[in-house]
Structure 1
């Protein structure tokens, strides 16, 4: 979002749009009735960002990227994230706490934005992760007070934060076309 690399800016905006779609989708597992339309709208807007900025990424693929020479370590980071999310969900399932899976995955995703910001040389990504972690911490007592799935709050927290980040990324990237 705050990178000097236009290709990375386009890709991050597209990726955040796609992930907003995913999180809004997961939040539709058990939403309050009044949220349903808004979750669908969020999903649609996320897909629009993903499509438009995915095309811009492809059109600017030859431009420099902050990941040049770091692809292996970037892969290690992503693999560690996937393993942490998967192992945590397995532990939650075995302990009969599967309703917390969405929250756990959200925490892992948000935390991975911190080292990701170093790879991308984009501290806006770290700011998103910190904001998400704070919001997910805020959600814990609310989730403990109910028996619904954690996707009810974790999904919108992640979806809204990623969609807003995609919008900021778009606003910063488009003047550079």
Structure 2
């Protein structure tokens, strides 16, 4: 599931996934600031369509989908796993019935642990390989 040929890259991937987990965990606490989200094309579309509740799922879907070609480019299957899992979370968050809970909550509360798991696996494998 992990190519150990480049252990420093694995440690860096862990750091990036850690930052992503931090960001998505923060987003899980409710809605992002209005001025920030209007910069993204999907966010603009969602706002224009009156579907601001779909901003987080749409952005998480883009994040997840973009990991799929990166997995092939970097030769790291863990990125495909993370991308697939994040995309599934985004789709589920987008179709879950509207309630008092923001869709961004579901993206953050489930998406952040996916980043942490993938990052943790990369970190442990990278450090182990660097020490070998």
Provide TM-score, normalisation by structure 1.
0.63
Higher-Rg member (1/2): 1
- Aligned equivalent of 1:155: 108
Q: In 2, Cα distance between the equivalents of 1:175 and 1:101?
A: 38
User: 1:24 deviation in Å?
Assistant: 0.2
Q: Cα deviations across residues 86-144 of structure 1 (Å, max 9, x unaligned)?
A: 211110011111121111110000000001112211111011111222233233332x3
Q: In 2, Cα distance between the equivalents of 1:29 and 1:131?
A: 22
Pairs aligned (count): 122
Larger RCO, structures 1/2 (Cα 8 Å, 6+ apart): 2
Alignment of 1:132-171 (within 5 A): 132-142=86-96, 144-146=97-99, 148-171=101-124
- Aligned equivalent of 1:2: 2
Contact (CA 8 Å) 2:7, 2:129: kept in 1 or not?
yes
* Structure 1, unpaired ranges of 5+: 31-84
- Aligned equivalent of 2:79: 125
Worse-superposed segment, 130-139 or 100-109: 130-139
Q: Cα deviations across residues 8-66 of structure 1 (Å, max 9, x unaligned)?
A: 11110000001100000111126xxxxxxxxxxxxxxxxxxxxxxxxxxxxxxxxxxxx
Alignment of 1:30-41 (within 5 A): none
Is the aligned partner of 1:103 residue 2:57? yes
Return structure 1 stretches of 4+ with deviation > 6 angstroms.
Answer: none
Q: In 1, Cα distance between the equivalents of 2:91 and 2:55?
A: 15
- Aligned equivalent of 1:175: 128
Q: In 1, Cα distance between the equivalents of 2:121 and 2:127?
A: 10
Contact (CA 8 Å) 2:28, 2:104: kept in 1 or not?
yes
* Structure 2, unpaired ranges of 5+: 32-38
Is the aligned partner of 1:28 residue 2:54? no
Provide TM-score, normalisation by structure 2.
0.83
RMSD: 1.8
